[in-house]
Amino acid sequence: MFNCHEGLQRLCYDFGIKSTKIKTFFTTSNHWDNCSGLSSLLLARYDANVKDFNYSNEFNHKLIEQCTVFDSKLKRIRFNCLDSNPWNYEDLSIEAIPIDFDSMKTVVYLGTLSPKKGEVSLKKCFDLKVPRESVSKLGQNQSVLNIEGKLIHPEDVKNFDNPQQNFMIFQCFEPNIYLKQVLNNSLINRFLKKCEVIVHFTKSRYLKDPLYQDFLAQTPSAKHLLIKETNPSLSNRSSCRFQFQLNHLDSKLFPLLQQRSLNGNQTEINPNQPIIECATGTKYIFRSNPAAFDSSDPSHGLSLERVPKQLTLNDALRYNDGSERDGLEESVKNLRAKQSSLPANVGPKFPEFVFLGTASSISLPIRNVPVILSNLDVKTSILLDCGENAYHQLLNFYGHEKIDQVLAKIKMIFISHHHSDHHMGIIKLLNKQSQIRKKLCQNVWIILPYVVYSFLSKSKFLNTDRLRFVFNNRFEQYKSAIIKDLRVKKIDLIPVKHCAFAYGLAITSNNNFRYVYSGDTEPCDSLVEIGKNCDLLIHEATVEDSLLKFARTNFHSRK
């Protein structure tokens, strides 16, 4: 696996990829984005009883330490740094070429698949009526007689030979400086001449640079796979599908998500072009699986069969195999009749709550880890926890046209406790918001445990301009200033029973709407007391009723 951005584990679920099969983790640079999805991926592997993880490069050790410091499960994983260079696995060799750039540590990876002789095809043996006991002889380059007495030679039943194949994976930074260093490396320069595929982690603006254009032109025989921010991309398919179903039941409560496709529909990708803007799900096959393909055809190259198509309501309302759900429309019709008999909702428009994540420690295909947006009024919002992929959840809900307006309204982020599923999305979200803060000269309050602050301050990945950090156990010192900035009547923090420095939050808005929020906690008197007579209580309840012992051991509530 090369790089691990936020939300990768959800995509693994969506595409049927087993993260437990990932043998080794490589990063193209020591940038936070390249490892920000590791904690949820490692938790999923741990729950599947995979408790070891290999990684390359010494600088990855620090990144992994930062991703795993908050969860006891992750501390039990055996992390192995691979010192060998090149790294070899069966017929694959990967050589790491370090490139120092500014304060960044970056690596260009040169991959080589060794030549491989074609193996005996069981399908061909069956078609040519070769007896089972004679198949091994064909593998030993011996000719045999089939059941009809005809002589069968090894070349009659063997698949095609695979030649040596080469690929390069790198992350581009400022082309006029960084790309020069890459191209001036003699080893990379020689390797490029025999490269079949070059994977670029890059940015759209870099592609306009003359040096980048020259680089693309100098390697015409290679297939260039571009991974950048403006590639055609759809939101998480399972999540969109589920939201379609909920929207069919209540369109106001469950508005449709934005199915992002930034450069037109992804079906416009031409696999025959040398430069491909890869949509999510794009696959490049170096060597076909003889069991899966016709052995007379090499069947390798670019494949778009896994790229999701734009989802429709009709698709979402059917079963996964495309068959119709019996009685669905009749049930929806009955629901509509009941909904029409309900009194109209004449309550206040604000505060408004957008549930962007309600899962527990690991993201699921249809549920993200905890993120709740509370819009206090038209100008002010707060985030209640900020789990992994928080920014993309906002993007999926509001779309590119509104995302900057939404970020500008966020005046406070409350982190209930230090477990990683409650705050791993904060770096990306705040960095995306940084230019808006600078432009508006606007401060943002971050209420959090000290241990999370320590992580953020040491990571050096976060733009801290105009951020005001408040440790949750010292909240009272800043309470009046926060109330003034948020324009609310009252805010209280209360300790809850989960881990050290776990807190809940109670807010009374200017229209006297009072709500209480707690992240993970077992039932506790402080939350009961402050929650009395509130208009809305939001609390964690992820453990089944039958798992009382588990809930008590882990300080959780039951449903």
Q: What does the alpha-carbon distance between residue 226 and residue 532 come to, in Å, rounded to a whole number?
A: 55
Contact (Cβ atoms closer than 8 angstroms) between residue 107 and residue 98: yes
Q: What does the alpha-carbon distance between residue 48 and residue 41 come to, in Å, rounded to a whole number?
A: 11
Tens-digit pLDDT profile for residues 146-173: 999 999 999 999 888 888 999 999 999 9
Task: Report in angstroms the alpha-carbon separations of 242 from 253, 278, 396, 539.
Answer: 13, 25, 14, 23
Query: Of the ranges 17-26, 333-342, 473-482, 511-520, which one carries the lowest mean pLDDT score?
Result: 333-342
Q: What does the alpha-carbon distance between residue 311 and residue 234 come to, in Å, rounded to a whole number?
A: 9
**Phi, psi torsion values for 14, nearest 5 degrees:** -65, -35
Task: Report in angstroms the alpha-carbon separations of 185 from 98, 100, 113.
Answer: 10, 12, 22
- What sign for the dihedral angle of Cα 349, 515, 411, 429? negative
Query: Of the ranges 72-76, 95-99, 305-309, which one carries the lowest mean pLDDT score?
Result: 305-309
**Number of other CB atoms surrounding residue 136 within 10 Å:** 11
**Phi, psi torsion values for 104, nearest 5 degrees:** -85, 150
State mean pLDDT over 125-144: 92
Contact (Cβ atoms closer than 8 angstroms) between residue 202 and residue 228: yes
Strands 410-414 and 444-448: parallel
Q: What does the alpha-carbon distance between residue 329 and residue 421 come to, in Å, rounded to a whole number?
A: 38
Q: What does the alpha-carbon distance between residue 544 and residue 558 come to, in Å, rounded to a whole number?
A: 6
Of 179, 227, 177, whose CA–CA distance to 203 is shortest? Answer: 227
Residue found under tokens 């705040």: 430
Compute the radius of gyration of the chain from its Cα atoms: 27
Q: What does the alpha-carbon distance between residue 173 and residue 160 come to, in Å, rounded to a whole number?
A: 40
Q: Which domains does the chain have, with CATH numbers?
A: 8-112+163-233+259-291 (3.60.15.10), 122-157 (no CATH), 234-258+312-346 (no CATH), 352-553 (3.60.15.10)
Contact (Cβ atoms closer than 8 angstroms) between residue 32 and residue 427: yes
**Confidence class for position 224, pLDDT limits 50, 70, 90:** very high
- All residues at 6 or more sequence positions from 58 whose CB lies less than 8 Å from its CB, including other chains: 81
Q: What does the alpha-carbon distance between residue 381 and residue 487 come to, in Å, rounded to a whole number?
A: 11
**Confidence class for position 546, pLDDT limits 50, 70, 90:** confident
Tens-digit pLDDT profile for residues 284-322: 888 765 444 333 444 567 777 777 777 788 888 888 777
Confidence (pLDDT) at 298? 43
Task: Report in angstroms the alpha-carbon separations of 49 from 45, 384, 393.
Answer: 6, 31, 29
Task: Compute the CA torsion angle 208, 211, 217, 222 (nearest 10 deg).
Answer: -90
**Phi, psi torsion values for 141, nearest 5 degrees:** 65, 35
Query: Of the ranges 58-72, 113-127, 209-223, which one carries the lowest mean pLDDT score?
Result: 58-72
Residues forming a β-bridge with 81? 55
